[in-house]
Amino acid sequence: MSRAKNLNDSDITKIVGILDGWSGRLTWEGLLDAVEKHLYARYTRQALHKHTRIQAAFEQRKLALAGGDRRPRSFDDLPEMQVAIDRIVRLEGELERLEAENARLLEQFVRWAYNASVRGLDDAYLNSPLPAVHYTGAGARVASKAERSVPEKR
């Protein structure tokens, strides 16, 4: 059995989207099966669990489902209504996940701001622009301070 490709941001976003719309019993094995159907690659629980966004989305969805996530009644005779309800449930799950992710990022920002102030870094230093990057055939490199002060010749 060959190894699955490494997860990139696009794959992680797809997996988190699967979790946003999840209904029923949520298990790692069930998630692995759903990921295999969507990404055509079989991953391990450990591979998914090491990505913070996937882990947090899984835990949040598990809590929402355990807390009696309100699932509206089924409309078997009106398929359009069922599609709309399924979409609403998925979007509500996505909203909950994004709000939790935003709160974690705000906590991280507060931690960084505190650590920067303890080190004596002021707003002017923290808001200074990033150094220029020069792309070459072999890859990118950051311009040295001397190179940044000299205008480029064309």
The verdict on pTM exceeding 0.85 is no
Residues 53, 105: Cα–Cα separation, whole Å: 11
For the stretch 36-75, pLDDT in tens is: 999 999 999 999 999 999 999 999 999 888 876 555 556 6
Average pLDDT over residues 105-116: 93
Give the helix, strand, coil percentages of the chain, each rounded to 5.
Answer: 60, 5, 35
Mean pLDDT, the chain, rounded, equals 84
Residues above pLDDT 90, as percent of the chain: 48
Residues 52, 16: Cα–Cα separation, whole Å: 11
Look at residue 154 in the predicted model and tell me its pLDDT. Answer: 45
What are residue 116's phi and psi, to 5 degrees? Answer: -65, -40
Structure tokens belonging to residue 154: 């064309």
